[in-house]
Amino acid sequence: MPVQRGLPPKLALLAAAMLWGSYSVSVRLIFSTEQPPDAVVVLALRGLLQAAAMLAFSSTLQQDERSTDATHVHHKDTPQLTTDAQQPKQQQPVLQRQGGNLLRQWLTLESPPLWMAALELGLWNFSATSLQTLGLQLTSATRASFLIQATVMLTPLFSMLAGYRPGPRVWAACGLALAGTLLVTADETEAVAAAVDGVAAAGFELGGDGFIILSAVFYSMGVVRLAGYAGSLPPARIATSKSFVLGGLGFGSLAVVSASTLAQGQPLSAMWGGVATDPVCWAALLWSGLGPGALASYLHAQGQKHVAPAQAQVIFSSKPVWAAGLAWLVLGGEELGVLTWLGGGVLMAAGLLASSEKQQQPQQPHREQHEEAQLEEAQPAVQAVAVQDAQRRSRRRD
Residues 390 and 357 in one domain: no
Q: What is the pLDDT of residue 96?
A: 35
Q: What is the pLDDT of residue 252?
A: 92
Residue 138 inside a domain? The answer is yes
Residues 200 and 341 in one domain: yes
d(CA 342, CA 176): 12
388 or 17, which is more confident? 17
- Please give the model's pTM, rounded to 2 decimal places: 0.67
Q: Which domain holds residue 379?
A: 367-398
Residues 268 and 385 in one domain: no
Phi-psi category of residue 5: left, alpha or beta, with phi > 0 → left and psi -120 to 50 → alpha: beta
Residues 270 and 391 in one domain: no
Residues 234 and 312 in one domain: yes
Phi-psi category of residue 39: left, alpha or beta, with phi > 0 → left and psi -120 to 50 → alpha: alpha
Amino acid at 93: P
Residue 156 inside a domain? The answer is yes
| Eight-state DSSP code of residue 293 | I
120 or 91, which is more confident? 120
Residue 315 · residue 170 · CB < 8 Å: no
Amino acid at 279: P
User: Closest by alpha carbon to 199, among 151, 134, 274?
Assistant: 134
Residue 85 inside a domain? The answer is no
Q: What is the pLDDT of residue 241?
A: 84
Residue 89 inside a domain? The answer is no
pLDDT higher than threshold 50 for residue 126: yes
Residue 79 inside a domain? The answer is no
| Eight-state DSSP code of residue 36 | P
Phi-psi category of residue 266: left, alpha or beta, with phi > 0 → left and psi -120 to 50 → alpha: beta
Residue 50 · residue 243 · CB < 8 Å: yes
Q: What is the pLDDT of residue 249?
A: 93
Residues 371 and 349 in one domain: no
Q: What is the pLDDT of residue 313?
A: 65
Q: What is the pLDDT of residue 150?
A: 78
- Confidence label for 310 from pLDDT (cuts 50, 70 and 90): low
Residues 389 and 338 in one domain: no
Range of weakest confidence among 64-78, 226-240, 353-367: 64-78
φ, ψ at 397 (rounded to 5°): -65, -35
Q: What is the pLDDT of residue 256?
A: 92
Mean per-residue pLDDT for 169-187?
A: 78
pLDDT above 70 coverage of the chain, percent: 66
| Number of structural domains in the chain | 2
Q: What is the 3-state secondary structure (H, E, C) of 341-380?
A: HHHHHHHHHHHHHHHCCCCCCCCCCHHHHHHHHHHHHHHH
The contacts of residue 113 (CB under 8 Å, 6+ apart) are: none
Q: What is the pLDDT of residue 384?
A: 55
Q: What is the pLDDT of residue 356?
A: 66
Q: CA 257: distance to chain centroid? A: 27
Residues 37 and 145 in one domain: yes
Residues 105 and 201 in one domain: yes
Q: What is the pLDDT of residue 63?
A: 60
- Confidence label for 127 from pLDDT (cuts 50, 70 and 90): very high
Residues 395 and 263 in one domain: no
- Confidence label for 370 from pLDDT (cuts 50, 70 and 90): very low
Residue 321 · residue 134 · CB < 8 Å: no
- Confidence label for 77 from pLDDT (cuts 50, 70 and 90): very low
Residue 136 inside a domain? The answer is yes
Q: What is the pLDDT of residue 169?
A: 79
Residue 274 inside a domain? The answer is yes
Q: What is the pLDDT of residue 182?
A: 79
- From residue 227, alpha-carbon distances to 92, 167, 296, 298, 383 in Å are 14, 18, 16, 13, 39
Q: What is the pLDDT of residue 170?
A: 78
Q: What is the pLDDT of residue 358?
A: 60
pLDDT above 90 coverage of the chain, percent: 5
Residue 252 · residue 22 · CB < 8 Å: no
Mean per-residue pLDDT for 72-88?
A: 38
The contacts of residue 363 (CB under 8 Å, 6+ apart) are: 163, 164, 165
pLDDT higher than threshold 50 for residue 100: no
pLDDT higher than threshold 50 for residue 344: yes
Mean per-residue pLDDT for 277-291?
A: 87
- In whole numbers, what is the pLDDT of the chain averaged over residues? 72
d(CA 125, CA 61): 21
pLDDT in tens, 201-254: 433 445 778 888 899 999 888 888 887 787 777 777 787 888 888 889 999 999
Residue 136 · residue 208 · CB < 8 Å: yes
Q: What is the pLDDT of residue 81?
A: 34
Residue 238 inside a domain? The answer is yes
Residues 163 and 254 in one domain: yes
Q: What is the pLDDT of residue 214?
A: 92
Residues 353 and 219 in one domain: yes
Q: Using DSSP, state whether 134 is helix, strand or coil.
A: helix
pLDDT higher than threshold 80 for residue 288: yes
pLDDT in tens, 33-59: 888 888 899 889 988 888 888 877 666
